[in-house]
Amino acid sequence: DAGVIQSPRHEVTEMGQEVTLRCKPISGHNSLFWYRQTMMRGLELLIYFNNNVPIDDSGMPEDRFSAKMPNASFSTLKIQPSEPRDSAVYFCASSGSNRNYGYTFGSGTRLTVV
Amino acid sequence: GESVGLHLPTLSVQEGDNSIINCAYSNSASDYFIWYKQESGKGPQFIIDIRSNMDKRQGQRVTVLLNKTVKHLSLQIAATQPGDSAVYFCAENQAGTALIFGKGTTLSVSS
């Protein structure tokens, strides 16, 4: 298995532009998580899905952020409009139905909003 | 709110020494705990986990200790190697919730 695949690896965009981050979880995993990592706040949970259904989106900063999981093999995190304070590394992770071995993380997308 | 934290932001050791990284958690309902390692430019990588019905679990060169009385978790790395240099995070959750991560401890190993 190729693991959790995220794209793009790096994204530089201008303030006000729309940004879409993509994630392909590990085949067979039924939970998917989006985290954001910054020096100041560490790893923060944004949203997680179970069987493609959003379960907890309380970590989504504001209405500018939205996430979808149209099927078991794909999820997107969209920021519209983007702001400089959104600059961070965004990680996607997936896990199976039990809680053994925690989550498998992707390599992340480093977003810079200028 | 609930949080998971680490006692020390940085830890420097010599190659071959044993390392101990500590973590305090505040959610007494948490029943599952994990240690992750994150190398520069990469996502967090699973090291070892422990459930609340245990107080110790060993892996290859790593041991996790859980003290539920004082809500404390530690990671011990035996014979630390330069390749162990990374940021280490503890994380916790209970069934039905997502993992909550601490801020991380940076381990630097000098040879």
Q: At A71, which amino acid appears?
A: N
Query: Residue A42: which of B42, B95, B101 has the nearest Cβ?
Result: B101
Q: Which of B101, B105, B106 should we substitute to test contact with A (largest number of A Cβ atoms within 10 Å)?
A: B101
Q: For residue A108, report the phi and psi dihedrals to the nearest 5 degrees.
A: 90, 160
**Two structure tokens written together for B7:** 């006692």
> What pLDDT sits at residue B4?
59
Angle (CA) B97 A95 A105, round 5°: 105
Q: Residue B103: which pLDDT band, with cuts at 50, 70 and 90?
A: confident
Per-residue pLDDT, averaged over B67-94, amounts to 96
Alpha carbon of B53 to those of A78, B32, B65, B107, B108: distances in Å?
40, 9, 12, 28, 32
Cβ within 8 Å of residue A39, ≥6 positions away: none
State CA A100 to chain mean position distance: 21
Per-residue pLDDT, averaged over A74-85, amounts to 97
pLDDT digits over B17-47, tens only? 999 999 999 899 999 999 999 999 999 999 9
End-to-end CA distance of chain B: 41
Alpha carbon of A86 to those of A64, A66, A77, B86: distances in Å?
10, 13, 12, 25
A102/B99 Cβ within 8 A: yes
Q: For residue B44, report the phi and psi dihedrals to the nearest 5 degrees.
A: -60, 140
Residues in chain A: 114
Which chain A positions have a beta carbon within 8 Å of B90's beta carbon? Answer: none
- Specify the 3-state DSSP secondary structure of B82: helix
> What pLDDT sits at residue A97?
81
Per-residue pLDDT, averaged over A45-61, amounts to 95
Q: Residue B49: which pLDDT band, with cuts at 50, 70 and 90?
A: very high
Which chain B positions have a beta carbon within 8 Å of A40's beta carbon? Answer: none
Please, are residues B65 and B58 in contact by the beta-carbon 8 Å criterion? Answer: no
**pLDDT greater than 50 at residue B6:** no
Alpha carbon of A4 to those of A29, A32, B91, B97: distances in Å?
10, 10, 19, 20
B95/A56 Cβ within 8 A: no
